[in-house]
Amino acid sequence: YNWLANSGLIFGDKVPYGVNPGYLNTAGTLPIMNFAVGIEVLGGLGVIIMYYLHYLKEVSRDAV
């Protein structure tokens, strides 16, 4: 049961019949979940880049 649908709040706009004129509030929580996944992926890539930079620092120190 979707308790957010047609609740009248930010997620409660009814979807018009026919072509959607671009109302973003009709998507429900999907944009919020997409944003959360994007932040998680960005954090994971940041950790990978930090490991690469740490490894390159160790390799360059050992070469000297």
3-state secondary structure the chain: CCCCCCCCCCCCCCCCCCCCCCCHHHHCCHHHHHHHHHHHHHHHHHHHHHHHHHHHHHHHHHHC
| 61 pLDDT above the threshold of 80 | no
As a whole number, the mean pLDDT across the chain is 78
Give the pLDDT score at 36: 94
pLDDT in tens, 11-36: 666 666 776 666 666 666 788 889 99
Domain ranges for the chain: 1-64
Whole-angstrom Cα distance, residue 43 to residue 38?
9
Query: Looking at the chain, how many residues does it have?
Result: 64
| 1 pLDDT above the threshold of 60 | no
| 57 pLDDT above the threshold of 80 | yes
Q: Which of 8-12, 25-29, 57-61 has the lowest mean pLDDT?
A: 8-12
Phi-psi region of 43 (alpha: psi -120 to 50; beta: other; left: phi over 0): alpha
